[in-house]
Structure 1
């Protein structure tokens, strides 16, 4: 299968490594608005063709599949253009950030694969399957914690698009889409509850968040992402009425009564392999079209809830003079 890559940043490099190490994929082209970066990446992996625009890439008819690794604001239009050419598509975070984008996600969801990372960790997948099989009983509570250099990642001098990210372009749609996908994978569809909070930088990009969620069975989830130095670290703790499962990047553990099963990390499955697996009609590891749409609905719901709460908290109370706000004077 001939594969082209759109995007030459950090995510693009990661996918490029996956493409060249897959024996059944042929890396045929790199496309980026910054031609010099595209040429550098192509030269590194011996890719024969470089394009500056998606239109040029598609008109060249040099690929059977496209991997899209661009900033979230640019993802959906590129996916739609590739879909119109009947190409197989894998895209980083093809999700909506506002209600106006939800119809577009619904339109492209059946033609795109989304490589949300936790699903491709074999030890995490085995633990989630054990939870789904009833190993810890009915899920009652999920606690997820992400810690990483998020303040630096969105700082003005950062070396990626994040240095320019603004409102609804920050941590929630970036890392948070992976977090919420993992959450809904574990406990089914979730919806945000009042009490969700975000931390913003000067440009309005989210650099931290605290979320409260609930699924259809009444199980609740607490999700926290905060900016601290060092490498990103994460943990998901799932509490059931008969045990507990803990998921992490290096290990997973399932405990029920006196029985404890510890699962060590194993080689990560390449997300791009889903392009071949899906083409063969086999089950991919990424989210289904319905899950992708629900993830977008959850993201938009969180954004809207936080925005509405902010407007409510800063409204001037009626019938009170200026200076006597919310009974503070």
Structure 2
């Protein structure tokens, strides 16, 4: 089977080539994102493999269905970039990787938080320059903080367990609460207004849908404690970036840590160090000393990359033989 690998990077090639020895698919790697402009590339391929910023709207899916494409393999957990209703209508089989390494993302939450709270990134740069002054490095402690999680799927649960080990008071909101698990670690489910009012630290762990886009907006930010810490490692569209920027200016937000950004498709996964970044709002965010941005690297561990390649290829083999996939969508 011929597979077009869109948005591929050197690490994708490395791990997919290694695991493809067990399948012998014909993998062609393309740097391009899949979108309305590039979809013609896929015309001769039975399957396409895509990532978080590839665009799978009705127009793209229709054009895929008019070529040889029958299968779409997402090498990620989220599928907010897929119009799955249109995929179903067009009889395009789609599967994702639902569980490649929840631990990687949960640990990245802690890494970002401790970086901000203890200014380790600033200290690293100072010491390299021979500056051992502690002025301006006064930090926060995590123990005793009230931590609230929005979403308690696998990543949210692991994140909660990490904070439990650090001695935090735990709250959460989920449309499908798991009370048995919550009782086992001492977490309490509450509604969103109460969560916003109680939390010292809010961490987002829910998929992006039409109903929760910009759930963190001016209204919800106004309900939060002054100086609250917000962490987003899920999807950028959960946060209204302009509202977060204003909340940083008026000090409602004490700290902001984001591994995702609602306009990241034009930025993340690329080396733009010699370019002028034209996203003014993003650049303004990076000027704040209490903001930390990482480029969607929460998932990026060796364990996760192996699991992504292995599960994606398993899904392709299952779709080809009309079997059930680990991550069936449609």
TM-score band, normalised by the shorter chain? 0.3 to 0.5
Of Structure 1 and Structure 2, which has the larger fraction of its residues in strand? Answer: 1
TM-score for the superposition, normalised by structure 2: 0.36
TM-score for the superposition, normalised by structure 1: 0.36
